[in-house]
C-alpha cells in the first residue's frame, strides 16, 4: 500500500451540529482561548481549512489531506481511535502552519490489543515525526491509552482503579498541559481541539 493511494472517504457536512463552534482566536496569541473544544471532524475541516480566513493558506489544504491519510493509517493499525487532540499552529490563526500536532486516544482494550511485531513497528513509525516527513506527512503524532477504569466512583477508591491507570492519567495530564501552553508568551495559556468520533 502506498501513502498516496490511501484515501479517506469524504463525509458530507451536516446542516446542523450539536457542538459549539471553535471560538475566535485571541488577538495577542492568535490561539483559541484556554480550554479544550469538542468538534467533529467536519467542524475541524470547516473551521481550520475551509474557513474564509484561511482561503489563501499555502499549507492548510495539503496538511489536511496528510492528516486524513495519517488518521486512516493509524485507525488501520489500531482498529479504532476514540478521540483525537489537535493542537499547535494548525489550531491557531497562523495562515501557513508548518505541521499538525495530534494525539490519538485509544480505549484501553484497543491499546493493549495492538499486536506485537509489524503493527507495533508501523505504529511507531507513524508516531515518529521524521519518518512521517520522509513519507510526505507533516504530522507530529502521539498515541495514548485512555483509562481502563470506567466507573467514575472507582477512580478515588484505593485498589479499585486499574493499576496501570495511574501512569495513563499522568500521560494524559502531561499532553493536556503541553497542548495548553503557548509557544511564545511566557506561560500564556491556549486552547486546543478534541475531535469526537
Q: For 87-96, what is each residue's pLDDT tens digit? A: 999 999 999 9
Query: 157 versus 104: which is more confidently predicted?
Result: 104
The pTM score is: 0.84
Buried/exposed code over 3-36 (b: 16+ C-beta within 10 A; e: otherwise): eeeeeeeeeeeeeeeeeeebeebbeebebbeeee
What pLDDT shows up at residue 18?
52
Backbone phi, psi, residue 40, to 5°: -80, 170
Q: Is the model's pLDDT at 19 over the cut of 60?
A: no
As a whole-number percent, the residues of the chain with pLDDT over 70 amount to: 80
What pLDDT shows up at residue 112?
87
Query: 136 versus 1: which is more confidently predicted?
Result: 136
pLDDT-based confidence at residue 155 (cuts at 50, 70, 90): low
Could you tell me whether strands 35-39 and 191-195 are parallel, antiparallel, or unpaired per DSSP bridges? Answer: parallel
What pLDDT shows up at residue 172?
93
pLDDT-based confidence at residue 4 (cuts at 50, 70, 90): very low
Query: 47 versus 19: which is more confidently predicted?
Result: 47
155: buried, middle or exposed (CB in 10 Å: 19+, 13-18, 0-12)? middle
What pLDDT shows up at residue 5?
34
Q: Is the model's pLDDT at 53 over the cut of 50?
A: yes
What pLDDT shows up at residue 8?
32
pLDDT-based confidence at residue 21 (cuts at 50, 70, 90): confident
Amino acid at each position: 500500500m502506498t501513502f498516496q493511494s490511501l484515501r479517506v472517504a469524504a463525509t458530507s457536512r451536516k446542516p446542523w451540529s450539536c457542538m459549539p463552534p471553535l471560538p475566535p482566536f485571541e488577538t495577542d496569541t492568535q490561539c483559541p482561548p484556554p480550554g479544550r473544544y469538542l468538534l467533529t471532524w467536519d467542524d475541524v475541516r470547516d473551521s481550520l481549512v475551509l474557513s474564509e480566513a484561511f482561503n489563501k493558506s499555502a499549507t492548510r489544504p495539503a496538511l489536511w489531506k496528510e492528516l486524513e491519510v495519517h488518521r486512516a493509517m493509524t485507525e488501520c493499525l489500531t482498529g479504532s481511535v476514540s478521540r483525537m487532540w489537535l493542537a499547535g499552529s494548525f489550531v491557531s490563526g497562523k495562515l501557513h502552519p508548518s505541521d499538525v500536532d495530534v494525539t490519538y486516544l485509544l480505549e484501553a482494550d484497543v491499546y493493549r490489543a495492538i499486536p506485537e511485531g509489524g503493527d507495533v513497528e508501523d505504529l511507531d513509525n507513524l508516531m515518529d515525526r521524521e519518518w512521517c516527513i520522509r513519507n510526505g506527512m507533516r504530522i507530529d503524532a502521539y498515541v495514548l491509552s485512555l483509562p481502563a477504569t470506567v466507573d467514575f466512583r472507582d477512580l478515588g477508591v484505593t485498589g479499585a482503579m486499574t493499576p496501570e491507570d495511574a501512569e495513563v492519567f499522568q500521560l494524559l495530564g502531561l499532553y493536556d498541559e503541553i497542548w495548553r501552553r503557548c509557544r511564545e508568551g511566557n506561560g500564556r495559556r491556549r486552547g486546543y481541539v478534541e475531535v469526537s468520533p
